[in-house]
Structure 1
Amino acid sequence: MKLLLLTLAALLLLSQLTPGGTQKCWNLRGRCRQRCFKKESVYVYCTNNKMCCVKPKYQPREMLRRF
């Protein structure tokens, strides 16, 4: 009986753990998160409706248009 309770407790704890890492986006340079860190910014949104947080050095530069 104690072994059964120990097994159930272990399974309950393991089910509460989140999988390691987050989904990657923007050519594997960004991460899908609810909030971005201070030095990151949002450029696009992920398929799971989270923000794709990308460091500014990996974001494309806007091209200046000359008319």
Structure 2
Amino acid sequence: MKLLWLTLIALLLFSQLTPGDTQKCWNLLGKCRRKCSKRERIYVYCTNNKLCCVKPQFQPQQNTWSF
């Protein structure tokens, strides 16, 4: 019975871990992924041909030129 509880606890802990293969991009504020979440935008592409997903507040603002 103790082995069953230990196994269940270990599986629960391992399911909470994030994968370690995600690379950082855009000044370490973005993550290289195949698909961005709803709260992120694509800014550039990573060196491994994945999307650099960055939250909008960390993206540089585009200047609007007025003459």
Query: TM-score scaled to structure 1, two decimals?
Result: 0.69
* C-alpha distance in structure 2 between counterparts of 1:35 and 1:21, whole Å: 15
CA RMSD of superposed structures (Å): 1.2
Residue ranges of structure 2 left out of the alignment (5+ in a row): 1-18
* C-alpha distance in structure 2 between counterparts of 1:26 and 1:45, whole Å: 9
1:27 aligns with 2:20: no
Point out the structure with max Rg over C-alpha.
1
Identity %: 63
Question: What does residue 52 of structure 1 align with?
Answer: 52
- Residue type at the aligned position of 2:46: C
- Residue type at the aligned position of 1:58: F
- Residue type at the aligned position of 1:24: K
Shift of 1:64: 1.0
Shift of 1:21: 4.4
* C-alpha distance in structure 1 between counterparts of 2:25 and 2:49, whole Å: 12
Shift of 1:20: 1.4
**Offset from partner CA, 1:5-61 (integer Å, 9 cap, x none):** xxxxxxxxxxxxxx6141000000000000001100101000000000000000000
Query: TM-score scaled to structure 2, two decimals?
Result: 0.69
